[in-house]
Amino acid sequence: MGSSSTFHGSFRVAGREAARTRTISVTSGKGGVGKTSLVANMALNLGREGQRVLILDGDLGMANVDIMFGARPEKTIFDVVSGEADVRGILIDVAPNVTLIPGGSGVFGLRNLSAFEKRALLDQVSSLGEGFDLMIVDTAPGIDDNVLYLNAAVQEINVVVTPDPASVADSYALIKVMHQRHRENRFSVICNQVRDEAEGVGLFSRLNDVAGRFLNVGLDYRGSVPMDLNLRQATRNQQLVLRASPETAAATAIRRIAQKFRAHAGSDGAKGGLQFFWERMTGVA
């Protein structure tokens, strides 16, 4: 992709009122679990099938969704906060039906903005309309406040976990903190880097048992992605496996998981829509 940020007017749907955008996060207790690769590949698949997807790169320490798509943003959401750009000016169309809001250092100065600045930002975001089917928020790993606030603002929190004991422990810690601080009672789980589906189901069952016993929260199984050298190589080369090796086991599994998000796209919940998301993020209710 070129370096210029473009907006092609793909947010409004001619002839009908756009449905409310469903908002989900893809998060993890620790790094190195393949979270960003999953986000980018799922978005690509959904876009190919006609879903209009907006990605927010919320991993401020290593904002790299743009790299996975071969894009080079000139501005990020930090430029919007600082008044150097408007929201439309930073959007990048990274694939058919897939648009990216690039992350950038300082974005969570959002919570320190004045009431006037918060409202001005909300007005800009609202101007985009609700012409997306889905917004996927790629968070940083861990349990710092930035991660917690992003997860608390979306309708569905998806936790990526691997068989690594540290990943399991940190995933439980993330779920526990979200439950205690933000009263979240429902989470979805994606098992990555497993030997096969059986290991993925077993991994989910262990996490689900512990969460149910000690936290009284519910977990939903979204699916598993097997350890695949093609996926690892594509990620190392900053490529998308759905482009580089679309017939591999990992690519097939990612498409299957993406289909589940498509099935839920547009459904209502207690939280929902871009306006609600940004109100929660900036503290304007």
Q: Confirm if 172 and 93 have CB atoms less than 8 A apart.
A: no
Domains of the chain, first to last: 22-282 (3.40.50.300)
Question: pLDDT, tens digit, for every residue of 128-156?
Answer: 766 789 999 999 899 988 788 889 888 99
Most confident of 76-90, 97-111, 241-255: 241-255
Q: What's the confidence (pLDDT) of residue 125?
A: 67
The percent of residues in the chain predicted with pLDDT above 90, rounded, is 56
Q: What's the confidence (pLDDT) of residue 198?
A: 97
Which pTM does this prediction carry?
0.86
How many CB atoms sit inside 10 A of residue 42's CB?
A: 27
Average pLDDT over residues 16-37: 84
Q: Give the whole-angstrom CA distance, residue 72 versus residue 177.
A: 35
Please state which of the ranges 9-18, 66-75, 271-280 shows the lowest mean pLDDT. Answer: 9-18
Question: pLDDT, tens digit, for every residue of 101-137?
Answer: 888 765 555 556 677 766 666 677 666 766 789 999 9
| pLDDT confidence tier of residue 279, bands split at 50, 70 and 90 | confident
Question: pLDDT, tens digit, for every residue of 43-83?
Answer: 999 999 999 999 988 886 677 899 999 998 988 877 877 77
Long-range CB pairs of 262-267 (<8 Å, 24+ gap) are 262/46, 262/49, 262/51, 262/133, 262/134, 264/22, 264/156, 265/22, 265/51, 265/133, 265/134, 266/19, 266/20, 266/22, 266/133, 267/22
